[in-house]
Structure 1
Amino acid sequence: MPELPEVHGYKVYIDSTSLHQKITQFDCRDQRLLKQPLADFEKHLLGKELSKTQRIGKYLFIVTTGDKILVLHFGMTGRPNYYKSEEERPKFGHIVLTFENGFHFAFENKRKFGWWDLIDSVEEFKKEHGLSDDARDLSFEDFKASLETRKTHIKKVLLDQRVAAGVGNWMADEILYQARMHPKKKVEEMNEADIKKVFDAMKKVIEVAIEKDAHYSDFPEDFLMHFREKGAKCHHTDCEIEKVKLGGRSTYFSPEWQQM
């Protein structure tokens, strides 16, 4: 699933290709991907322009020159695709905007878990969906405060979008590996220094992933992503990576590097 770094890349891509162009057509092959009636999308997008983008976690908000803000969620396999001729429309481009210049913006969505919505306010959406500030922008004080009443393990907390919007499963594993924190460590047993280690590791992982355009093969050699599978060897200790289920999610860690 696209996580914070991937969606950041989509934001940059859209900013560089699809803004400030009048929308002349709106085509949707599967209206189940729309959170509002098709007629509402046509009303609020046709004749309008996409003017600027904002990302919070895994959600991408696109301000338009009309009354509504477009929300994109990429689900498991979603991604944007800007192309010229109709013959280039991607196979799974289920939603397509056509611009006055003849180019098209497709929302590729192979498994159809992604969706589009129209909203009035980003702040209201954020409150309704219980989102924290974006994990990249989150302050340490807010991060620490959100952990104060937690009574579960740190891996589960990191995946809570009310704590760190945008952090997904692989990122949580990587953050804990970089922080040398066991994923089963209970939050109530962590002191401020422990919390700061996790916070600093989160910021590090986010920035590295964005800098490398979420190309895992380009990550530093000591990143878990290079050996994130059961039985692989830890970069630091050469012990075997273990896999457990935490909160229903597959979790990978190095038992010698991330001791309880």
Structure 2
Amino acid sequence: MPELPEMETYRRLLQERVVGRTITATLVQREKTINLDPAQFDQILVGNRITLVDRCAKHLLFHLESGHILLLHLMLGGFLYYGTVDDKLGRTAQVTLSFGQPILYFHGLRLGYLHLLTAGQLDERLDSLGPEPLDAAFTLSRFTELLEDKRGILKTTLVDQHWLSGIGNCYSDEICFDAQILPTRRIPELTQEEIKRLYFSMQKVLKEAIQYGGYMEPPLYRDDHLTGGFNDRCRVYDRGGEPCLRCGQPIIQSKLSSRKVFACINCQH
């Protein structure tokens, strides 16, 4: 599932390509993907101009000149492609937005959604999300404070979007590896030094992942050489059985509450 770095990569690349463009047509192949009747969806969007592409946690927000916002959550299996009918992917798109010749294709939205909301509806929808880990206000002190009342397991806490937004399966494991802490540790056991390491590893890993375009491999557009560049830089995620890049021992793959967990039990403690 796309996480904060993947959605931030999309935001930056789409900000350059669709802001200022007017939507000329829509096509809805799966009505459950949107929250309105397709005719009403089309009526509001066609002729509307995109003024800003923003991100909140794992969501992408397309702000429109009319004041409406398109809220996208890709969930499991969703991804985007921006191109023309000549270079489109050989995959069904649940929704497409045309900007004249260029088209933005929303693929794999069997679980994801693209909802058209007012500003008030958007605030209500996102109100329960936790703080952003890369927000300037999210300091080490704030992180330590948030952990004070937690009694659960580290990985389960890191992926809780109501506690901290944007981190999922991949980056929770990558952060724990960088901090040399097992993701299965219970939070009350963590020392102040370990909490400090976790915080700075979180900043480091997420920023590096954004720099290299996240781990999702499908390119956003033809000749896109950024998206997915972090996939080969993952230290533990999806590397079960491979040697640890730090100590050489095999990476262990396990499960925690139906989630995959990847860690080196030799150099993570």
* TM-score (ref. length: structure 2): 0.85
> Residues 236 and 251 of structure 2 are in contact (CA less than 8 Å); yes or no, is this contact kept in structure 1?
no
Give the drift of 1:153: 0.9
| Equivalent position amino acid for 1:252 in 2 | F
| Structure 1 CA distance for aligned equivalents of residues 92 and 139 of structure 2 | 38
Give the drift of 1:217: 5.0
| Structure 1 CA distance for aligned equivalents of residues 268 and 39 of structure 2 | 53
Structure 2 vs 1, CA of residues 235 and 89 (structure 1 numbering), >3 Å: closer, same or farther? closer
**Residues 114-154 of structure 1, C-alpha deviation per residue, up to 9 Å, x if partnerless?**
21012223433221xx2122222233333223222111111
Aligned pair 1:224/2:198, yes or no?
no
| Equivalent position amino acid for 2:230 in 1 | Y
SS at the partner of 2:14?
helix
Q: Which residue of 2 aligns with 1:107?
A: 106
Q: Which residue of 1 aligns with 2:267?
A: 257
| Equivalent position amino acid for 1:62 in 2 | F
Q: Which residue of 2 aligns with 1:131?
A: 129
Counterpart mapping for 1:175-194 below 5 A: 175-194=175-194
| Equivalent position amino acid for 2:252 in 1 | E
> Residues 242 and 250 of structure 2 are in contact (CA less than 8 Å); yes or no, is this contact kept in structure 1?
yes
| Structure 1 CA distance for aligned equivalents of residues 191 and 86 of structure 2 | 58
> Residues 56 and 133 of structure 1 are in contact (CA less than 8 Å); yes or no, is this contact kept in structure 2?
no
SS at the partner of 1:224?
coil
> Residues 212 and 218 of structure 1 are in contact (CA less than 8 Å); yes or no, is this contact kept in structure 2?
no
Q: Give the percent of matched residue pairs that are identical in Structure 1 and Structure 2.
A: 24
Give the drift of 1:40: 3.5
Give the drift of 1:254: 1.0
| Structure 2 CA distance for aligned equivalents of residues 149 and 74 of structure 1 | 31
Q: Which residue of 2 aligns with 1:8?
A: 8
| Equivalent position amino acid for 1:64 in 2 | L
Q: Which residue of 2 aligns with 1:71?
A: 71
Aligned pair 1:120/2:130, yes or no?
no
Give the drift of 1:89: 4.1
**Residues 203-243 of structure 1, C-alpha deviation per residue, up to 9 Å, x if partnerless?**
111011111112235528xx334xx4333222222222222
After TM superposition, which residue ranges in structure 1, 4 or more long, deviate above 4 angstroms? none
CA-based RMSD: 2.0
Aligned pair 1:237/2:251, yes or no?
no
Give the drift of 1:155: 0.9
Q: Which residue of 2 aligns with 1:197?
A: 197
SS at the partner of 2:26?
strand
| Structure 1 CA distance for aligned equivalents of residues 260 and 123 of structure 2 | 32
**Residues 177-224 of structure 1, C-alpha deviation per residue, up to 9 Å, x if partnerless?**
00011112111222332222111111111011111112235528xx33
SS at the partner of 1:151?
coil
> Residues 14 and 80 of structure 1 are in contact (CA less than 8 Å); yes or no, is this contact kept in structure 2?
no
